[in-house]
Amino acid sequence: MDEALKIQALRRQLETYAREYYIQDAPTVTDQEYDRLMHELQALEAAHPELADPNSPTQRVIGAVLPGFEKYSHGQRMLSLGDIFSRQELEEFVARIRKEYPDAQFVAECKYDGLAMALHYENGRFIRAVTRGDGMTGEVVSANVRTIRSIPMYIDEPGFVEVRGEVYMPKKSFETLNELQTTLHLPLFANPRNAAAGSIRNLDTSVAASRNLDIFLYWYQNGPEHGIRTQSQALQAMQELGFPVNMDVSVCDTVDEIWAFIEKTGAQRASLPYEIDGVVIKVNSLEQEAALGLNAKTPRYAIAYKFPAQEVQTTLDDIFLTIGRTGVATPNAVLTPVRVAGTLVSAASLHNEDLIRDRDLRIGDTVIVRKAGDIIPEVIASVKERRTGSQIPYVFPKTCPVCGSELIRLEGEADHFCTNPDCPAQVLGSLIHFVSREAMNIDGLGEKKMAQLHEAHLLDTIPDIYHLAEKRQDVLALRGWSDKGFDKLLANIDASRQRPLADLLFGLGIRLVGKKAASLLADSFGSMDAVMAADQETLAAVKFIGRTTAESLTTWFAQPANRQLLAALKDAGLNMTQEKKEAAPADSFFAGKTVVLTGTLTGMSRSEAKKLLESLGATVAGSVSKKTSLVIYGENAGSKLAKARDLGVETMPEETFLAEAGHAA
Ligand code: IVH
């Protein structure tokens, strides 16, 4: 029995030494002494296999491949927080609580951007780590979490302890990891959060062990059972038990104090060694917390303030043009790579000549870059004070960089176009669009294969797709083709002849005719011939088809080349008709609105909500812009909701949408 005690003492001793060494950077013993004790423990454990413990310092970094992750039902749901984006919303949050507790105090903490984790201990021993999962049920990832060195496996607290926190990957480790991925020709991780989550969910524990993950604990789930009365005490107690806790928090009595913490933290954000995306504000008293309870899905006692899109400075090194499938010439910024909101940005679309002029962007300028909705990088301005005189104003090229033809800009339009309908960039682009999943959905003609066939002149035009069978020998002579593969492709091409009229209309790539417009046109005209015969008035009379779209359609159908194209497709046996359908009722609240769905919907699936909205006459879009009329949000809505609020776009919680839709339907 003596030896069992000895083993236990050694494990704790070594854990303390390791923490001093790795975490506090202040070793109190020499490496030799540490190694000696480690060997002693290894020898004792080898002699007593019955005392084996996966928490032992001898086991923590050894890799094992797991068969899978067990599921675990959280005793108490792991909640997510409601988001706010302004001081006004903060004031409202504080006022709501003050109504019930006039003297309420708050704790403001960083909102770490990683993945939530619950750690369980039983009589001082670590027993499991569970991910958030859907909030009710998570996955047991103890083996991977054991590789996080800063987490104590032994704590001085009897009974059951559950603490919660955020596992994250420090910015430095993330950069090193992506450098390694580059060297190994492996895909890069988009941001530290994804990298951390991927590591924790890897079945090979040596992966997590190599990823240098860390954790901050911010929640003592069953603190009250251990005499904890406030959130600030909880943080203190967790730190004393040996957990990594960020004590740079602020206990606040007023909105001003909370706001000061938000501003201070926002200013430090870029220089912190880990990613944060906001500040969490919690009621300090746990008694008040318990009494305040929950809204439908999120706590009433805590809220997350999200920082606005991050802005950084970098250099505009160059501007180059790309030619799209409709011939539009888009200028793009080449930027000195810079990290924005967690990802590396080295390019951004500049959209058109006017934007470059309005924002006064010159090559060599220091520019301000941010992520619109935290996703798409955008160059918002140049920093005039940083000009040295060597910056060069951008002159929009007169010729297409792909085919050398003239680029023109029509009156009243912002875009330049390549005037050559046979421009390879356009031709290939339109071929790729035609076969894409949303259009004719021809599997087996990916971009690479398409480019290969196009280059070999086996696919010069869209109708050539339907004559590919005649070119079997030529195709098989190319790299990467087999009889079997070719037959499969022919079968897919054949099947595409029956695709709905709307898909064909969309596949033609007529400017401004997206999926939605194509389906409205197909529904109200019932055949390609009828669409072609319609004049601008008739087209614009279709609900939700605007004047410009109508004009784009008549212009397209008027071109002899396009009429020939359609005749050739008809000859090739493509379906050109469908039954006419009634248009959606125009009197619903949603009719004519461009709606964006965001967050997790609980009442129905995303695609059901989309269908419902479309049946009520709305167009459902994927991203928020000034043109968005309404954003409907579910749980955990993030950047899209933030952007909508930034832009002053109307927002609506899911419940209201369901109620409205119910009335209207
Ligand atoms: S407290 C009921 N504190 O943000 C309180 N959460 O949407 C539970 N997070 O799921 C969370 N930093 O993963 C809390 N200092 C912090 C946090 C934090 C990051 C995460 C957590 C949670 C999400 C909220």
Pocket test for ligand 1, best of 76, 81, 276 (most atoms within 8 A of CB): 81
Structure tokens at 553: 């359609």
Which pLDDT band, with edges at 50, 70 and 90, does 583 fall under?
Answer: low
- Three-state SS for 303? strand
Using one digit for the tens of pLDDT, what is the confidence trace for 267-285? 898 889 999 999 999 999 9
Q: Say what the pLDDT of residue 584 is.
A: 56
Measured in residues, the chain has a length of 665
Kindly report the protein residue whose alpha carbon is nearest to atom 21 of ligand 1. 116
Express each pLDDT in 110-138 by its tens digit. Answer: 999 999 999 999 999 999 999 998 889 99
pLDDT at 487: 96
Cα separation, 609 vs 657, in Å, equals 9
Reported confidence tier of residue 62, pLDDT bands at 50, 70, 90: low
In three-state secondary structure terms, 540 is helix
Residue 506 · residue 439 · CB < 8 Å: yes
Please tell me which of 99-108, 187-196, 429-438, 635-644 the model is most confident about, judged by mean pLDDT: 99-108
Dist. CA 310 → ligand 1 center (Å): 20
Most informative mutation of 111, 113, 168 for ligand 1 (most atoms within 8 A of CB): 111
**E-state strands within 424-509:** none
Cα dist from 147 to 57, 64, 215, 218, 282, whole Å: 10, 11, 11, 20, 30
Instruction: Please give the residue that has the higher pLDDT: either 239 or 65.
Output: 239
Percentage of residues in the chain having pLDDT higher than 90: 60
Q: Which atom of ligand 1 is nearest the CA belonging to 298?
A: 2
Lowest mean pLDDT among 5-9, 387-391, 611-615: 611-615
CA dist 431 and 442 (Å) reads 11
627 CA to centre of ligand 1 in angstroms: 33
CA of 388 relative to ligand 1 center, distance in Å: 45
Give mean pLDDT, residues 338-358.
Answer: 87
Q: To 10 degrees, what angle do helices 255-268 and 87-100 make?
A: 140
pLDDT band of 514, cuts 50, 70, 90 = confident
C-alpha span between 591 and 629 (Å, rounded): 11
pLDDT band at 312 (very low <50, low <70, confident <90, very high): confident
pLDDT digits over 161-194, tens only? 999 999 999 999 998 898 887 777 676 676 788 8
Please check the confidence at residue 663 and state whether its pLDDT lies above 60: no
Measuring CA to CA, which residue among 495, 515, 497, 496 is closest to residue 505?
A: 515
Instruction: Point out the least confidently predicted range of 207-211, 379-383, 424-428, 546-550.
Output: 546-550
382 Ramachandran zone, left/alpha/beta (phi>0; psi -120 to 50): beta
Mean pLDDT of the chain: 89
Is the CB of residue 168 less than 8 Å from the CB of residue 215?
A: yes
CA 116 to ligand 1 center in whole angstroms: 7
* Bigger pLDDT: 654 vs 22: 654
pLDDT at residue 616 is higher than 80:
no
Q: Which one is predicted more confidently, 141 or 549? A: 141
8 A C-beta contact, residue 493 and residue 466 = yes
Which amino acids bring their CB within 6 angstroms of ligand 1?
A: 79-81, 109-112, 116, 166, 218-219, 280, 299, 302, 304
Indicate whether 635 pLDDT > 50: yes
The pLDDT of residue 178 is 82
Asked whether residue 63 carries a pLDDT value surpassing 70, the answer given is no
Q: How far is the CA of 281 from the centre of ligand 1 (A)?
A: 10
Q: What separation in Å is there between the alpha carbon of 165 and the centre of ligand 1?
A: 7
**Atom 12, ligand 1: residue with shortest CA distance:** 111
Q: Is 588 left (phi over 0), alpha (psi -120 to 50) or beta?
A: beta
- Atom in ligand 1 nearest the alpha carbon of residue 81: 7
Q: φ, ψ for residue 334 (rounded to 5)?
A: -100, 120
Quickly state the pLDDT bin for 373 (edges 50, 70, 90): very low
Integer Cα distance of 113 and 171 in angstroms? 11
User: How far is C-alpha 404 from the chain's CA centre?
Assistant: 38
* Atom 15 of ligand 1: nearest residue by CA position: 111
- Give per-residue pLDDT as tens, 200-221: 999 888 889 999 999 999 999 9
Mutate to test the pocket of ligand 1, among 218, 247, 298, 600 (most ligand atoms within 8 A of CB): 218
Across 229-256, average pLDDT: 97
**CA distances (Å), origin 458, targets 20, 449, 472, 570, 571:** 68, 11, 10, 20, 19
CA distance 328 to 324: 5
Q: Is the pLDDT assigned to residue 25 strictly greater than 60?
A: yes
Find the 186 Cα to ligand 1 centroid distance in Å: 31
pLDDT of residue 59: 84
Mutating to test ligand 1, I would choose from 76, 164, 166 the residue with most ligand atoms within 8 A of its C-beta, which is 166
Which position has the higher pLDDT, 91 or 660?
Answer: 91
Query: Which tokens hold the place of 602?
Result: 């609980």
Segment 314-329 shows an average pLDDT of 92
Q: Which atom of ligand 1 is closest in space to residue 83's alpha carbon?
A: 7
Q: What is the pLDDT of residue 322?
A: 92
How far apart CA 665 and CA 660 sit, in angstroms, is: 8
Burial 131-154 (b: 16+ CB within 10 A, else e): bbbebeebbbbbbbbbbbbbbbbb
Residue 372 — pLDDT band, cuts 50, 70, 90? low
Residue closest via CA to ligand 1's atom 9 equals 111
Distance CA 457, CA 445 (A): 15
pLDDT at 665 over 60: no
pLDDT above 70 as % of the chain: 95
Active site residues: 111
Q: Which domains does the chain have, with CATH numbers?
A: 3-59 (1.10.287.610), 83-306 (3.30.470.30), 311-408 (2.40.50.140), 424-496 (1.10.150.20), 501-571 (1.10.150.20), 594-664 (3.40.50.10190)
In this structure, the residue with its CA closest to atom 17 of ligand 1 is: 111
pLDDT band at 227 (very low <50, low <70, confident <90, very high): very high
